[in-house]
Amino acid sequence: MQVVTDFPHRIFETPDMGIPLSDGCRLSARVWMPEDAGAHPVPVILEYIPYRKRDGTLPRDEMMHPYFAGHGYAAVRVDMRGCGDSQGLITDEYTEQELRDAEEVIAWLAAQPWCSGSVGMMGKSWGGFNCLQTAFRQPPALKAVVSVCSTTDRFADDIHFKGGCLLGENFGWGAVMLSYSSRPADPALRPDWRADWLARLEAEPWLAPRWAGHQARDDYWKHGSVCEDYARMTLPVQIWGGWADNYMNTVAALVSNCAGPVTGIVGPWGHQYPHTAMPGPQIGFLQEALRWWDRWLKGVPNGAEDDPAYRVYRLDSAAPDASARQRSGAWLAMAEWPTPQVTLQRLHLAAGAGGPSAPQGYLSPSDRQIEPVEIATPQHLGMHTGEFFPMGLNAEMPGDQASDDALSVCFDGAPLEEPLDLIGAARLSLRLLSDKPLGFVVARLCDVAPDGRSVRIAHGMLNLCHRDSREAPEPMVPGQVVEVAFDIDQMAYRLAPGHRLRLALSNSYWPFVWPSPEAGRLTLVAGSLDLPVHQGGAGAWVPPSAEHASPSKLRVLREGKTTRKIESDLISGTIALVIRDDLGDVENLTHGLQTGETMTELWEVHPDDPLSARAVHTWEQRLSRGDWAVRTEAWAEMTATATHLRMRARLAAFEGHQKVFERQFDEEVPRQLV
């Protein structure tokens, strides 16, 4: 990765530019722009997120935004209302207030004498979401967006629900935001920091119960879901995703449906910007984004609108590695998506032994009668699933699936004689019955090596109550055979000769999915799998090498350490995933702020009892400078009964050694077909 220090434009930085909103709230922005922007106005690139520009995202900001400024843009990094150094209060994610604020910020920026009148918007995750959502609203000055790791459908493809299944990350992210939003503004920028901090703490929302309460695809989720009307997506969109992330479906969805110019790129990456993300190879995200900005914000005729519609990194077969630094593969470019180079090939779930590791059956090109197969998997299946959005190399990606496969119902293909290339989304169709009114099914596509090691290629899931409608789910009728179908996530993968394709089915997936209220039993009577087989013929793509601006000046005060363990209690019989993540402490050598963060997660369950599922998360945030020191402690727990989900939390804040705030939360949410 190359560090760039010599740019076409000299840069001037403003650490705290105030952006006034119509209701009197002041947002704080950090701005980099060419020194001569006052005489020669430039377009603006806006990133607008809640993650604290003064400390939280500072390391990545300083590698990215000066790069754009050095190439003739004003790069504006704004703390959202109620976050970081901005005034106001945050109440939820992607609210109408948040999006109205974004429109006001864009209009204000476009009117500044150093702005040419054109604004682009970019971001990853939350920022990737809200730049798509703002593009959907079509504010006049917004001309293009670059979105990374985002979604088009807040119910179907976010951290809350997937296939109608309640995700464990719904609770986990609620705990994260309880902690993240509890920190004060920097006193160096906000003399009123203390009063503002206490007001934030008093108004702090405990969001996990609110999100969990919307258990169907209602208006809450439709708000901010751009899939509601793709015809409104007329602004140029460059959309990025990663195969190690769980937002990989967004790229194909936008490329297939956007009304305006769009290009999509999916690499091997986790939940980070592609010039720094693991696993590699990292690529020149900043150069590709700059090419997009030059075309749509400056009108440079560089042909960006003619770039391939869909560029993917096709992964090669490799040994499982939950902390992979690099993945072998090849970049492919397709002029259109969907492409005629991919055809669906149907395999049937057939009866008979598929080998010692797949006793339930095999995948057959011939439609044969299947013997009824029961799916009643233990509750702890899924411990090797990995995080919803892996951030780094601390075993956050899926590991060897062999132990989970051994607990699943598996159907194996024959050992391959030639490579098998899969690009797109597989679709699984099943005929089954349930002995309980509630339940779900999870499907994993795996690459099984000759030595038995298993790599997860992609997964998908369906809450069976959502089999006909996400808006109006209905319980299963026990004993009644139903036909269900759902997509497995997008993929680009080459299975090597000698390897086998495996379909692994389960009705538990802890802690990725919260368990059903009863340990049910599904009976599978027929099924088929439509595979997106790539026939070849796609062009190769050689991306630019990764580069960035100079890294931030930080001094490590205390090194961090992370552990991730699966623990079995030989007395109680519970099995737990236990994560301890100490990020250490650092000092910013530019403005002197010292920060640190520590987190623990416990996800435990008894293999025979879905109501034993319990999650406990703790967070500590630390900030100091000289004699000033504050910290916050957040604790959160989720449990469930047959009828309710219970989510408790506690938030405490300390100034020096004195506790200045404490609040308890205890909410129960009725289970409505989850």
- Give yes or no for a contact between 618 and 627, defined as CB atoms under 8 angstroms apart: no
| Residues in the chain with pLDDT values less than 50 | 353-358
Per DSSP bridges, beta strands 361-364 and 342-351 are: antiparallel
Within the chain, which residue ranges are assigned CATH 3.40.50.1820?
9-164+215-334
Question: C-alpha 127: how far from its chain's center?
Answer: 11
pLDDT, position 434? 98
Rounded to whole angstroms, how far apart are CA atoms 152 and 251?
9
pTM of the complete model beyond 0.85: yes
Rounded to whole angstroms, how far apart are CA atoms 148 and 647?
31
The DSSP secondary-structure symbol of 673 reads: -
Within 10 A of 478 (CB to CB), how many other CB atoms are there?
13
Structure tokens at 11: 């840069």
Q: Could you tell me the CA-to-CA distances from 467 to 320, 595, 665 in Å, in that order?
A: 32, 47, 34
Structure tokens at 448: 């099984």
Rounded to whole angstroms, how far apart are CA atoms 400 and 384?
7
Within 10 A of 175 (CB to CB), how many other CB atoms are there?
26
pLDDT (tens digit per residue) in 33-46: 999 999 999 999 99
The DSSP secondary-structure symbol of 92 reads: S
The DSSP secondary-structure symbol of 179 reads: H
Element holding 20 (H helix, E strand) = strand 11-20
pLDDT, position 356? 42
| Cis bond before residue 338 (omega within 30° of 0) | yes
- Give yes or no for a contact between 200 and 184, defined as CB atoms under 8 angstroms apart: yes
CATH level 3 topology of 342-531: Jelly Rolls (2.60.120)
Pick the CATH number of 9-164+215-334 from 3.30.9.90, 3.40.640.10, 3.40.50.10490, 3.40.50.1820: 3.40.50.1820
The DSSP secondary-structure symbol of 388 reads: S
pLDDT, position 362? 86
List beta partners, residue 562: 581
Rounded to whole angstroms, how far apart are CA atoms 175 and 519?
27
Among candidates 506, 501, 524, which has minimal Cα distance to 516? Answer: 506
